[in-house]
Amino acid sequence: MPLVVNAADFLSQSDEIPVIDVRSPSEFHQGHLPGALNIPLFDDRERAEVGTLYSQKGREYAILRGLDISLPKTDFILRSLQKKTPFKSILIHCWRGGLRSANMAILFEQAGYQATLLHGGYKAYRTWIRQHFSGSSRLVILGGYTGSGKTEILMHLRKQGEQVIDLEELASHKGSAFGGIGLPDQPTNEQFENDLFHRWRKLDPSRHVWMEDESRMIGKVTMPEPVVRLIRESPVIILDVAKETRINRLVTDYSGVDDSLLSDAVLRIEEQLGKSRTKEALVALREKKYRDVAENVLLYYDKAYAFSINRRNGQSRYSFPVSRFDPDEIASRLIRFVHKLLRNGSHLPGL
């Protein structure tokens, strides 16, 4: 019989052993373990049919119908596994650790594979990760007004060996009304959490972790509450970048994209920006005056960020002046700045 392990053991083995997710394609798309291979026992229509039969006629009828559907597929399923991984040891899960994963495990073991099952299935995995997001609380938050280059600096911090979690990269969104322009579609909220935890659990808890200052929502995805709380409780280093520099960066980033996408983004913040300034921004956009667009938009975003940062009572804040935007040099300075503030390996002290 296949070995059955809990979520913690399953995840620790998943770093070396391939994970086979036997749920339907739509279940897999909604959310899955990062790197998992989808070899479904049922497609979406078949899963719905078996589920309906279970609720209307009972478990026995559903099992028999499931066998009718799955038995003719066994050769195809085995060939799919052979194509997707050369490994003979595999981890398997379905939704709740029920018949789908058990039956697939038996099939694979008969074909010479060593299978390990996830107790409680994907549902248990989801419960477990929500309870373990606080595994590393030594965060250093990189803040600053829109256009300060936080994401680029995080990239250089990572290149210099620092631990970094890029929330915007994981969310496929830059966090503003303009944030999705030029990026792939966002993941589901469930998948975002899975991908975030995949990075989170690999952190060295003895070292601090750099993360960008983000609101609860990044585009259409929502950060897990424990992560939001840690961001609000951790020290934030606010990049003090001249507005002119920020405008230049925004013009460089957005002047080459489709103007209709920029127009749609401006209209999404019309209520906050005001009708008059929205009109000015749209006129400037039609005239290709991207600097004027950026100046108008920053009036809203600067005010919003100042309000957000100033209402966080008790959060340690440090201003970090940036006179020349060289992300590699800024990253080096930030590392020295934080190491100087660290005392005996403890958290950053408050002001």
Residues marked active site are found at 94
By DSSP bridging, strand 89-93 and strand 37-38 are unpaired
What are the residues whose beta carbons fall under 8 Å from the beta carbon of 59, sequence distance 6 or more? none
Tokens of 158: 């990572």
Tokens of 73: 């597929």
CA dihedral 278, 280, 281, 284 (to 10 degrees): 160
Positive or negative CA dihedral for 187, 189, 193, 194?
negative
What are the residues whose beta carbons fall under 8 Å from the beta carbon of 16, sequence distance 6 or more? none
Listed as own residue / partner, the contacts of 38-42 with beta carbons closer than 8 Å and 24 or more positions apart are: 39/77, 39/80, 39/81, 39/84, 39/104, 41/66, 41/70, 41/73, 41/77, 41/94, 41/100, 41/103, 41/104, 42/66, 42/69, 42/70, 42/100
- The region that residue 9 occupies, defined by phi over 0 for left and psi between -120 and 50 for alpha, beta otherwise, is alpha
Q: Residue 210 pairs with which residues in a beta bridge? A: 140, 164
